[in-house]
């Protein structure tokens, strides 16, 4: 979640890479790193320095085509032989590369390598579809009006003139006018001879009021922008949307300024309960919001006064802190939030740096631990409209689970602990530069292939990397189904240190931290407990509604973490039930997606009230079977191996292979 | 209107006073001043020092009963003879007094003395009637609720809990909750174990929303107070109302702090158009409101947080200045106000020093010059419910006129000039201490009898005094129907000075200002133009709706000035059409009355929108016949004497007498 970049990325140009002797072909974007391409193809190349050419182990031979870089750190002799360091090579054409035998002690490797990584396929808002279906009806509209100029025979009050005209010529009814508009109306009407643009906020219910929140002289209807924002515990993402064209004009994310007062919601709540803590946290989140706004407004090349609405989605604690509502009762049984629905309010009222007419819309939540971010994901993903029985999961320190379809939904949340975010792991870290995010192993030598964020020397392990590492260690028999190391394997990478068994991922010299980077049994145990909590949460919820895990027809993974996790690996460790990849949707930032969709179409805002009512909340602490499910899930992947038939098959094949 | 006192006054004890040789009896309150009693009885006693015993002319003989004071400034000889100075005597029992012959040169005086003054009979809100009729339904109600305490099986959000309970156990629907309430709800619910009092603002329309604006721990339903306030150009009056008992707990008035920036609305508007002027005036009026609030809250012995609503009524300029809305277009043709209806808003939003939950309700107006104060009067007086064809007048610098009944209403305003408020009059002054407010004349000697506000030596003439003086001078033949002095009368009080004819009301020695206080022909001319503007306004309005002045069945006089004016005298000069006194209602402060009524019953708030729509506004400047009516009205009482048959009769009697 640290990738604060624009929507950008590589060019659309694709190249094919053929790996020999595996004879595996993969298509990649131009400029892709060769190690990453190998990882994606399921081809193992020893590599442990992350891409800095330090370890020098990832040499391959270019047989055809063009690679860029990759030879800088090699001796002339190696260059002449056609060697490249894979970790430093960028793909510049269709290529054929040969992996030297040193990385393939046994050809059997070719067959039992991990299945290819599933690239995150983020479901995007289909804006064109919205427009085609006539659904581009934002909650805030602008109307250009040429009012009749008053005379002594027609000297109605300015507000009456405006309302009468809207009623008669625009068939607008149930209108109310904000006090701020009344305050400015005499001067604004007369700035451009009674030609004005009115900004109208549509009601949530069709029988509600249409609220006139702003008036501008002249015709400004072509300038109607919205902001969608995800208020995450860790990161705040914002986008500027053009409500006329349906385009996203800019995007930016930054760390939530509250982060120095606690990493997770519980520590934030505890800080909020201290003297002055609540207002400090409120101020900090608003500061970050304003920082993000400043960036996206500048990048979109608009004026802040042209923004008519800001839709915010966050979990219940983030929402309460944003409004300076004491969140203390969220963390104490019986876990009661202040509210699930919030009325629209003026964004400037809480210090958000927008015009006084900009309306803030907060996504409603369901309960203390199933908040507006999850509801936004349910709305944005279209889960609320599907017939398919869907398992929606947002994986993080707190994992939220929604099960259901358009007719019913059940939801719950469980505390997975911080393992997925690198917490409680010896070398755990956030998904920042230097974090090991991908990993494979030579099944004979047990030598690793490591990919780091930013292709720099490793500093530690992020959550998605941890899942991959544990899955790979398990599938290759380095650990058993209780996460204990096989002490009999012939490798110096598995060792005991001060009574704790561990695997050395990166030797000290190839790291940034001048220490061996390892994964220990306690680390693995932490991960097992985290994934066990999530899986058993889903199991318990299913059981409560009389279904089984095998009934699931579709999985939606939301959240930044969900976008990075390797689906196959998550199934290998039993974090997710085994499901065909085509039935899994990586939603990306569901919270931002829902906020964006609601900004574009008021229909979503109208539906969300019903959806929230439909979502039945279960407290796992109140469900006795949860503990049983949890204990059963404290294995890799689970005590019930029949839920994981494909994995069973692969493991049988490996044993017999 | 300078009487900033509580509702207090004399005791209820009544005494009778018999004046001899007139043989006139009058009943007065215990403690009443004897000169005032004589004035009320229509008995002339020479008196021109206002009640300080300076002129020594008002000696009477006490024949029976008890007077207090009145002998202090007399010689022992006079005391032994039983003399008292009437102006210093307070009535302490039933008394018989004899007016010495010196004041009654001719017994004919006894018959042609001015008719008795009509005491102002202010129509009070009939609160008991309201209660009896079940109409004591304030726009803001409190409900005490004992909510179920949350458990892990029932951990609904706090707001949901509150709303569900209100729906199920109190049949309350269409509820919305203020963001401020959501902000505080977690802590407030838990202060007294989920026992709370909710403050609910009722909608104007029955199908509107019921807005929860406040929550308090425990049962506070017995503490529900409102403030009614009249925002006058000159004075701001406020009252604290107990919404449970229907009682008025306290009252206070103070000069509008804007007064130093201009006496009338036009000069205020001109100041508002200067740099920074608008905000200065807004600040000043809010300062006065807060000063009045502080007094009335203290006197009522309540806490400001216990006030749930403040209803304000003022003219359109005062309303716009209160909200800092540029009033510039009110004074320029075509005279357009910003709005006639204003939404409810938080009083604290504009700096009013009440709790953030206190809702401000502004009385709607009709046009730039028929504002919320007039509409409040129409509502408070019940004019909107009567079958009788009613002439409603609020007399001041700007005079507003409403004609109609429960089925239709027409209204207009005219600028009468400042004469009614003492402006443009040589010795004109506000109705403050030392202002001549009552006057009679000895028809033979032309010596005056003067009563001043506060019974102190005269300083000048207030508006109601001016009307009485001109009426008395006219009925006694000192001036003709064009306001010119009869230069042939034998009195040194009528004189020419620097080419201007005048009547000396008080000789220099008896004044506070060390100059003769006089009334001049230009003064009289100013008054005639002022009353002519008003009368012709009413005539024109009647003509526009196809009626005549003789169709009027009832007159309602509103405004402070209307409470002080002597009805008979106002008819004598032709300010009002001649009407039997029993058909005239002195409303007093109609603006405050309407604000008070609306505070007690929401039905009025519901009706007022319809009434405002029904009130058809006429611009006199757009009505050509106005000028003709005006010219005809520039006589005492009018060119058409047949509209004033009783006056004609009296004048004929006097001529023949």
Top residue of A157, A189, A372 to mutate, by most chain B CBs within 10 Å, is A157
pLDDT tens sequence across A248-272: 999 999 999 999 999 889 999 999 9
Domains B14-111 and B139-217 share a fold: yes
Return the CATH class of domain A139-217.
alpha beta
Asked whether B186 and A336 are in contact (CB, 8 A), the reply is yes
Q: Examine the pLDDT at B117 and tell me if it is beyond 70.
A: no
User: Mean pLDDT of all residues in chain A?
Assistant: 89
Is residue A656 over pLDDT 50? yes
Token duo for residue B193: 């174990």
- C-alpha to C-alpha distances, B258 to A316, B322, B371, nearest whole angstrom: 48, 11, 18
Smallest CA-to-CA distance from B330 within B345, B340, B342 is with B340
Q: What is the reported pTM?
A: 0.84
Comparing CB atoms, the residue among A156, A157, A338 nearest residue B186 is A338
Under the banding of pLDDT at 50, 70 and 90, the label for residue A123 is low
Based on the number of CB atoms within 10 Å of its own CB, is A580 exposed (0-12), middle (13-18) or buried (19 or more)?
A: exposed
pLDDT digits (tens, 9 = 90+) for A460-509: 999 889 999 999 999 999 999 999 999 999 899 999 999 999 999 999 99
A–B interface: beta-carbon pairs under 8 A: 131
**Pairwise CA distance, residues A631 & A533, whole Å:** 9
Among candidate residues A611, A638, A470, the one with its CA nearest the CA of residue A538: A638
CB contact under 8 A, B155 and A336: yes
Q: Would you mind telling me the total number of residues written for chain B in this entry?
A: 657
Chain B residue with Cα closest to A327: B186
Q: Which CATH superfamily is domain B14-111 in?
A: Beta-grasp domain (3.10.20.30)
Q: Which of A157, A187, A328 sits opposite B336 (nearest CB)?
A: A157
d(CA B185, CA A560): 33
Domain boundaries, chain B: 14-111, 139-217, 229-362, 377-418+528-656, 423-519
Using the beta-carbon criterion (under 8 Å), do A339 and B159 form an inter-chain contact?
A: yes
- What's the pLDDT score for residue A657? 55
Helix, strand or coil, per DSSP, at residue B564: helix
Tell which of A182, A194, A330, A616 to mutate to test the B interface (max B CBs under 10 Å): A182
Which one is the CATH code of A1-113: 3.30.950.10, 3.10.20.30, 3.40.50.620, 3.40.190.100? 3.10.20.30
φ/ψ of residue A610, rounded to 5? -70, -40
DSSP state of A259: G
pLDDT (average), residues A134-162: 93
Instruction: Give the per-residue pLDDT at A3.
Output: 39
pLDDT digits (tens, 9 = 90+) for B596-651: 999 999 988 889 999 999 999 999 988 889 999 999 999 999 998 888 998 888 88
A186 interaction partners in chain B (CB closer than 8 Å): 325-326, 328-329, 336, 338
CATH of A377-416+533-656 given 3.40.50.1010, 3.90.199.10, 3.40.50.9100, 3.30.420.40: 3.30.420.40
Give residue-wise pLDDT tens across range A296-353: 999 999 999 999 999 999 999 999 999 999 999 999 999 999 999 999 999 999 999 9
> Shortest Cα distance from A459 to chain B (angstroms)?
43
| A620: closest chain B residue by CA | B152
Question: CATH topology for A225-369?
Answer: Nucleotidyltransferase; domain 5 (3.30.420)
Q: Chain A residues with CB inside 8 Å of B329's CB?
A: 158, 186, 190
Tell me the pLDDT tens digit for each residue of B450-473.
Answer: 999 888 999 999 988 999 999 999
pLDDT for B121-158, tens place per residue?
545 555 667 777 777 889 999 999 999 999 988 999 99
CATH number of the B229-362 domain: 3.30.420.480
Q: Which tokens go with B275?
A: 């740099």
Query: Is the pLDDT confidence value at A228 over 70?
Result: yes
A578, A478, A581: which is closest to A535 by C-alpha?
A578
Residue B18 pLDDT > 80? yes
A119 pLDDT above the threshold of 80? no
Give A76's contacts (C-beta < 8 A, 6+ positions apart). Answer: none
Answer with the residue of higher pLDDT: A348 or A432.
A348
Least confident of A34-48, A573-587, B111-125, B560-574: B111-125
State yes or no: pLDDT of B178 exceeds 50.
yes
Does B324 contact A176 at a Cβ distance shorter than 8 Å?
Answer: no
Question: Averaging pLDDT over each range in A227-241, B8-22, B24-38, which range is the top one?
Answer: A227-241
Q: Please tell me the predicted confidence (pLDDT) of residue B443.
A: 85
Q: What is the distance in angstroms between the Cα of A22 and the nearest Cα belonging to chain B?
A: 58
Instruction: In whole angstroms, give the CA distance from residue A329 to residue B158.
Output: 10
What is B377-418+528-656's CATH number? Answer: 3.30.420.40
Collect all residues of chain A within an 8 Å Cβ-Cβ radius of residue B343.
176-179
The answer to whether B152 contacts A622, with C-beta atoms less than 8 Å apart, is: yes
CA of A326 vs chain B CAs: smallest distance (Å): 7
Res. B101 pLDDT band, cuts 50 70 90 = low
pLDDT at B111: 40
Share of chain B above pLDDT 90, in %: 67
Spell out which residues of chain A touch residue B319, defining contact as CB-CB under 8 Å.
Answer: none
Binning pLDDT at 50, 70 and 90, where does residue B574 land?
very high
Report pLDDT digits (tens) over A54-101: 888 888 999 999 999 888 888 888 888 889 999 899 999 999 999 886
Is residue A575 within 8 Å of residue A468, measured between CB atoms?
no
Nearest to B182 among A157, A325, A367 (CB): A325
pLDDT band at A126 (very low <50, low <70, confident <90, very high): low
- Identify the closest residue of chain A to B370 by CA–CA distance: A157
Out of A421-425, B442-446, B488-492, give the one with best mean pLDDT.
Answer: B488-492
What is the 8-class DSSP label of residue A261?
A: G
pLDDT at B550: 86
Question: pLDDT-derived band of residue B312, with 50, 70 and 90 as boundaries?
Answer: very high
- Residue-wise pLDDT tens digits, B19-63: 988 888 999 999 999 998 988 888 888 888 887 888 888 889 999
Interface contact flag, B343 A159, Cβ < 8 Å: no
pLDDT exceeds cutoff 80 at B428: yes
Residue A23, exposed/middle/buried by CB under 10 A (0-12, 13-18, 19+)?
exposed
Closest-CA distance of chain A to residue B226, Å: 22
Q: How far is A543 from chain B (nearest CA, A)?
A: 18
Of A158, A326, A349, the CB nearest to B187: A326
- Give mean pLDDT, residues B192-201: 97
What CA dihedral angle connects A522, A527, A532 and A535, to 10 degrees? -170
When mean pLDDT is compared across A512-521, A580-589, B308-317, B541-550, the lowest value belongs to A580-589
Residue B102 reports pLDDT greater than 70? no
Task: Compare all CA atoms of chain B with the CA of A616 and give the residue at the minimum distance.
Answer: B156
Give the best-scoring range by mean pLDDT among A384-398, A517-531, A543-557, B584-598. Answer: A517-531
Q: Which residues of B touch A156 (CB under 8 A)?
A: 336
Give the pLDDT mean for B175-185.
Answer: 96
Å from B153 to nearest chain A CA?
8
């Amino acid at each position: 979640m640290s990738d604060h970049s624009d929507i950008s990325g590589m060019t659309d140009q694709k190249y094919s890479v053929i790996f020999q002797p595996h004879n595996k072909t993969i298509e990649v974007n131009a400029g892709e790193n060769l190690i990453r391409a190998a990882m994606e193809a399921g081809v193992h190349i020893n590599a442990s320095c992350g891409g800095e050419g330090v370890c020098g182990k990832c040499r391959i031979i270019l047989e055809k085509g063009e690679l860029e870089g990759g030879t800088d750190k090699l001796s002339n002799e190696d260059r002449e032989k056609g060697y490249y360091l894979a970790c430093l090579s960028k793909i510049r054409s269709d290529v054929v590369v040969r992996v030297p035998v040193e990385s393939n002690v046994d050809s059997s490797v070719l067959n039992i390598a991990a299945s290819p990584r599933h690239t995150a396929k983020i479901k995007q808002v289909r804006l064109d579809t919205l427009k085609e279906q006539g659904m581009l009806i934002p909650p805030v509209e602008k109307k250009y009006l040429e009012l009749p100029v008053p005379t002594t025979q027609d000297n109605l009050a300015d507000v009456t003139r405006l309302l009468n005209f809207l009623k008669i010529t625009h068939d607008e009814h149930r209108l109310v006018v904000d006090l701020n508009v009344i305050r400015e109306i005499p001067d604004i009407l007369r700035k451009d001879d009674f030609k004005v643009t009115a900004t109208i906020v549509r009601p949530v219910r069709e029988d509600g009021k249409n609220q006139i929140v702003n008036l501008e002289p002249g015709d400004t209807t072509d300038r109607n922008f919205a902001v969608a924002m995800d208020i995450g515990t860790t990161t705040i993402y914002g986008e500027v949307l053009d409500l006329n064209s349906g385009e996203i004009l800019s995007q930016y994310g930054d760390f939530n300024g509250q982060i120095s007062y606690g990493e997770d919601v519980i520590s934030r709540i505890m800080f909020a309960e201290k003297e002055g803590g609540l207002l400090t946290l409120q101020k900090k989140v608003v500061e970050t919001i304003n920082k993000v706004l400043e960036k996206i407004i500048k990048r979109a090349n608009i004026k802040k006064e042209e923004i008519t609405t800001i839709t915010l989605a966050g979990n219940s604690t983030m929402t309460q802190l944003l409004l300076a509502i004491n969140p203390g009762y969220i963390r104490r049984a019986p876990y009661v939030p202040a509210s699930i629905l919030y009325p629209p309010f003026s964004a400037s009222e809480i210090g958000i740096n927008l015009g006084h007419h900009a309306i803030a819309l907060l996504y409603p939540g369901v309960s203390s631990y199933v908040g507006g971010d999850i509801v936004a994901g349910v709305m944005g993903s279209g889960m609320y409209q599907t017939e398919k029985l869907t398992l929606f999961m947002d994986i993080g320190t707190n994992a939220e689970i929604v099960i259901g379809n358009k007719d019913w939904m059940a939801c719950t949340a469980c505390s997975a602990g911080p393992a997925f975010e690198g917490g409680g792991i010896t070398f755990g870290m956030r998904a920042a530069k230097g974090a090991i995010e991908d990993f494979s192993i030579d099944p004979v030598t047990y030598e690793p292939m490591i990919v780091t964020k930013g292709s720099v020397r490793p500093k530690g392990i992020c959550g998605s990397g941890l899942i991959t590492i544990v899955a790979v260690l398990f599938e290759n028999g380095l650990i058993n189904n209780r996460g204990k190391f096989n002490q009999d394997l012939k490798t110096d990478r598995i060792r005991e240190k001060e009574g704790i068994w561990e695997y050395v991922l990166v030797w000290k010299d190839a790291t940034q931290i001048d220490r061996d980077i390892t994964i220990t049994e306690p680390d693995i145990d932490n991960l097992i407990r985290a994934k066990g909590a999530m899986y058993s949460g889903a199991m318990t919820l299913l059981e409560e509604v009389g279904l089984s895990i095998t009934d699931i027809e579709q999985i939606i993974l939301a959240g930044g973490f969900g976008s990075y996790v390797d689906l196959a690996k998550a199934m290998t460790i039993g974090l997710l039930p085994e499901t065909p990849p085509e039935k899994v949707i990586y939603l990306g930032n569901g919270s931002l997606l829902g906020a964006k969709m609601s900004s574009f179409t008021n229909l979503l805002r109208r539906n969300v009230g019903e959806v929230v009512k439909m979502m039945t909340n279960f407290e796992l602490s109140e469900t006795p079977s949860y503990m049983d499910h949890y204990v059963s899930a404290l294995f890799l992947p689970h005590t019930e191996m029949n839920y994981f038939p494909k994995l069973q098959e692969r493991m049988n094949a490996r044993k017999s292979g």
